[in-house]
Structure 1
Amino acid sequence: MTEGSLLVRWSLRLLVVTYLFFLVAWPSSLVVQRTFENGLEGLQTALADPDVVHALQLTVVVALSAVVINLVFGVGISMLLARSEFPGKRLLSALIDLPLAVSPVVVGLALVLVYNGRTGWFGQTLEEHGFQVIFNEPAMIMATCFVALPLVVREVVPVLQEIGDDQEQAARSLGANARQTFLRITLPSIKWAVVYGVVLSLARSLGEFGAVKVVSGNVAGDTQLATLLVQQRYQNFQQETAYSVSFLLASAAVLCIVVVALLRPKEGR
């Protein structure tokens, strides 16, 4: 390898590292620094606040609910896209990517238009039967499901296409039913794609802001999620609490990714 090639390679590496430092590492490190400026006092103060605790609990409930729903429907849609040919398949595939292109605020507004109790298509009927969607947990879960749906599908579909269906056909020829084939053949083959999709979906769900801001009502101690609390406290000059909650959300997402990264080599060995 020539000296010029080495120089180009190291220059590109330096450029990438510099880019990531200013875009990711430096801003993230400042949040950590501000969180622990006074030791653990900031975290202790934040976790002693009932509104903060409620916001964190509600965020976990909404995120986990969205992840479970996206897991079931995401794997189902992936099987449909990878194993079936039908009219409108390309349209369905394009619709899966819609959340990546549409602003989450637009998603929240669309949910309000459909499920609002006064003017929505279904809202009034549902509220007459005692089921409120908008400004309640169902709307927040639906909004979170929408923004995180592609993360499961786009992890699983390429793996299904790569492994093919030869083993599945062999299992069916030996008398296995659809459930046995999925649990014993398909699922073990795609388990790491499913795990990564779930982890990415969870991280995205924990950090959702735009869509849930529109549909939640943002009432402290009731329908306020952690991301909305961060904005409110920061704007109200309670930065210490805002930094602490931001740190907790970021830590949860990073922890999920690190755990999966540590477990996968063990599985490979």
Structure 2
Amino acid sequence: MSSRRLNSPRTTGTYVRRALVIGYLFLLVIWPLSLVVLHTFDGGLENMRAALSDPNVVIALQMTVYVAAWAVVLNTVFGIGISLLLVRVEFPGRRLLSVLVDLPLSVSPVVVGLALLLAYGSTEGLFGPALKDAGLQVAYAPPGMILATAFISLPLVVREIVPVLQEIGTDQELAAQSLGAGGWQTFWRITLPSIRWAVVYGVVLSLARALGEFGAVKIISGNLIGKTQTATLVVEQKYQDFEQGAAYATSFLLALIAVAAIVVVAILRPSHSTDQENP
């Protein structure tokens, strides 16, 4: 009896904390997303058909996938490179670089879009006129949208890879080099397989973030309907034009892709092993 009495307050406290966490997540995430789903299919598949039959929505979805795909490619390549630089190389200013990597998480996306516009605008931008003379338009075009999206989502890749690199250490890499392996051989055969799941998960998070980017893309793209408008911008336009059905359907598609990607990775990622194990 005494042991039960001693354990019961702790058990009750655990249940209360769990209930608070679940309630918080329900009110913040589950309930709002469920309302989007309910409104999307409120009239059956009519909202989805109307959205997918609208050429502006289709073009915006294609543009979203195009921009997100290129942003993910850039973030994967440079994210791995920056992570290796932060963990494996000692150099002055390394801590400053680490702080700069986290900067996109603290700066408003609208500020990012404005900064890119000031840097690459064809008239007011610092590099814009030179790029325009060279036949390359960055602002109000896909290149600027890709840069803005990559900037916003870069930390998600780096912060997934850095802890794994720190944990696996350099023993295997040094052993490979002592046996005559070159830098690229060591990277492809030792380092990359050891961090593969960190890279995959970072890429998925980056993709989910890229699909939902709004503020920075709206500024740098100019929100040109049928040209540089992405899915998130279509949602805003349709909702303001009182075409809520199309807005709900487009929002549902974006959320579905992002959630599906995260769920698939969570299922495929082995729970019994870690990234440190040899492939």
The answer to whether the aligner puts 1:87 opposite 2:109 as a matched pair is no
Equivalent-residue separation in structure 2 for 1:267 and 1:35 (angstroms): 38
SS at match of 1:187: helix
The answer to whether the aligner puts 1:16 opposite 2:21 as a matched pair is yes
SS at match of 1:2: helix
Amino acid at match of 2:236: Q
TM-score, with length taken from structure 1: 0.98
Amino acid at match of 2:122: G
Equivalent-residue separation in structure 2 for 1:207 and 1:106 (angstroms): 17
1:32-47 alignment, distance < 5 Å = 32-47=37-52
The answer to whether the aligner puts 1:117 opposite 2:122 as a matched pair is yes
Q: Match for residue 3 of structure 2?
A: none
Shift of 1:193: 0.3
1:70-85 alignment, distance < 5 Å = 70-85=75-90
1:177-256 alignment, distance < 5 Å = 177-256=182-261
User: Deviations along 1:148-180, whole A, 9 cap, x unmatched?
Assistant: 000000000000000000000000000001111
TM-score, with length taken from structure 2: 0.95
Q: Match for residue 155 of structure 2?
A: 150
Amino acid at match of 1:62: V
The answer to whether the aligner puts 1:5 opposite 2:10 as a matched pair is yes
In structure 2, do the counterparts of structure 1 residues 116 and 250 end up closer, same or farther at CA, with 3 Å as the change threshold? same
Equivalent-residue separation in structure 2 for 1:91 and 1:268 (angstroms): 33
In structure 2, do the counterparts of structure 1 residues 267 and 248 end up closer, same or farther at CA, with 3 Å as the change threshold? farther
Equivalent-residue separation in structure 1 for 2:189 and 2:133 (angstroms): 45
Amino acid at match of 2:268: L
User: Deviations along 1:86-114, whole A, 9 cap, x unmatched?
Assistant: 00000000000000010000000001111
Shift of 1:265: 2.7
Shift of 1:268: 4.4
**Structure 2 unaligned blocks of 5 or more:** 1-5, 275-279
SS at match of 2:66: helix
2:144 maps to which of 139, 142, 146: 139
Shift of 1:41: 1.2
Amino acid at match of 1:135: Y
Q: Match for residue 30 of structure 1?
A: 35
How many residues are matched?
Answer: 269
Equivalent-residue separation in structure 2 for 1:77 and 1:188 (angstroms): 17
What is the root-mean-square deviation in Å for CA atoms of aligned residues?
1.2
In structure 2, do the counterparts of structure 1 residues 267 and 129 end up closer, same or farther at CA, with 3 Å as the change threshold? farther
Structure 1 window deviating more from structure 2 (256-265 vs 75-84): it is 256-265
Shift of 1:40: 1.0
SS at match of 2:137: coil
Post-superposition, which runs of at least 4 consecutive aligned residues in structure 1 deviate over 4 A? 266-269
Amino acid at match of 2:112: V
